[in-house]
Amino acid sequence: MLTLSLDFQRVREVAVEALKIIEHYDISLQKAYFKALQELNLKPNRASYEYIYNILMNYYTIQYAFMKKKGRPARPRELVEFYESGEHLKVSLPSSILRRLSVETSYPYWLVQRLSKYLDLETLYQLLKALNRRKVWLLCLTKAGEVLRTLANEGVEANIDVDLDYMVEVVSSDKPPSRLGPVRKGLAIPVDKGSALVVEALRAQGHEVLDACAAPGVKSSLLILRGSPLVIAIDKSKSRIREAAKLISKFNTKEKIMLILADSRKPPISRSFIKALLDVPCSGTGTVGDDPSIKVRLSKPNKVKMYHKTQVRLLNSVSKIAEEVIYASCSLLPDEGEMVVDECDVEIEKLEIPSVTDCYQGFRCSGKAKRTMPHIHHCSAFFIALCRARIPSNT
């Protein structure tokens, strides 16, 4: 248990400052954490990062308990101090099944209620609990066996994936992914299995590909590694394009990836493509284990409507210049998956991806599109659909 030493006081101040930044600027935990360190003139520390990570993971549980005791939401410092006290563990849970599930798994009630329309309660509970856990995958840049041996030599338990033999799942480790031996030695790069499955779904070997929302560049690089000779990678964010440039150099794929700063809602492309990948900007509800600050951002459900409109525009635009489009979103919500492809002017073809679950029922794309589920596939939650531009009828 942490004591009120000088070191812990610094950990607490970092947590308070990071919470303020996340609530105000609506940014990721990693960015907020380093911004908080800069504001406080402190150096990175694993303990301080893990502390704010755990607070964010329990954000709604703490807020529920504080609200029940004080009658109002907790401010950042109050939230941290209430978490320290352990009072949030002593409050009785709601009698309503869905509200109880919301508090127990620490997700906003509106999200739990929305997902309960498509999943039975036991599945939903297992899904949300799994989503709360970190999942570490490594994409092997050499033989998977060598990566496995390197991990074993440092006492890390890991397995080669049964579906993708170039992916390794880290089962247990005390180290962050960046400190694992294979990553430090350049033998592997942390990449979620869900991202790899999105790329596999396109079957792009031998084809030049348009990656329409490319940053941070993971999938562009993976497309090259899986046999695409050239990727035209578009993103509208200057900072994310810079991030992508750094990342693709780690993959050693920069000679085959053309980065373009542009908006794919109006792509500056005069040619057409046989294959395109569209991994859209979204709420990120499928990646909470990597970034629990998403939970705080979910307090604004209206943002999902904004994402939906953008996603529809992107898919309608990209499908006009590509014969086949893999549409993907790392979201649990049908608003950013099934409802997008159903609304767009596209034909949806049945996807064949090993071991992946069918999408939610009751949609035009049901039985054709797929979903990865954290409690089944041990990776982030993705919606994946294969779309083609609808051919106009002659009648």
Q: Does pLDDT of 394 surpass 80?
A: no
What integer is the mean pLDDT of 302-320?
A: 96
Domain that holds residue 128: 96-132
Q: Residue 395 falls within a domain, yes or no?
A: no
* Local confidence band at 391 (pLDDT 50, 70, 90 cut-offs): low
Could you tell me the pLDDT band of residue 1, with boundaries at 50, 70 and 90?
very low
Query: Is residue 243 domain-shared with residue 370, that is, in the same domain?
Result: yes
Residue 120 lies in a domain: yes
What is the CATH classification number for the domain harbouring 165? 3.30.70.1170
User: Could you tell me the pLDDT band of residue 274, with boundaries at 50, 70 and 90?
Assistant: very high
The Cα–Cα gap between 169 and 185 comes to: 18
Q: Residue 393: what pLDDT? A: 52
pLDDT in tens, 329-369: 999 999 999 999 999 999 999 998 878 999 999 999 999 99
At residue 294, φ and ψ (nearest 5 deg) are -55, -35
Judged against a pLDDT cut of 80, whether residue 3 lies above it is answered with: no
Residue 121 sits at φ, ψ, to 5 deg, of: -65, -40
User: Stretch 74-94: mean pLDDT, rounded?
Assistant: 95
Q: pLDDT at residue 5 above 80? A: no
Q: Which residue would you say has higher pLDDT here, 340 or 243?
A: 340
Angstrom distance (rounded) from CA 135 to CA 132: 9
The least confident of 205-214, 217-226, 264-273, 317-326 is 264-273
Are residue 239 and residue 371 in the same domain, yes or no? yes
Which of 212, 249, 237, 216 is closest to 328 using CA atoms? 212
- For the chain, the domain total comes to 4
Give the tokens for residue 62.
């703490």
For residues 139-154, average pLDDT: 96
Model pTM score: 0.94
What would the two tokens of residue 10 be?
């610094």
**CATH code for the domain of 241:** 3.40.50.150
pLDDT of residue 326 exceeding 70: yes
Question: Same structural domain for residues 208 and 353?
Answer: yes
DSSP per-residue codes, 277-292: EEE-----GGGTTT-T
- Report percent pLDDT > 70 for the chain: 97
pLDDT of residue 160: 97
Distance CA 258, CA 21 (A): 34
Asked if 84 and 15 touch (Cβ cutoff 8 Å), the reply is: no
Task: Give the distance between the most distant pair of CA atoms in the chain.
Answer: 78
Check whether residue 295 and residue 333 sit in a common domain.
Answer: yes
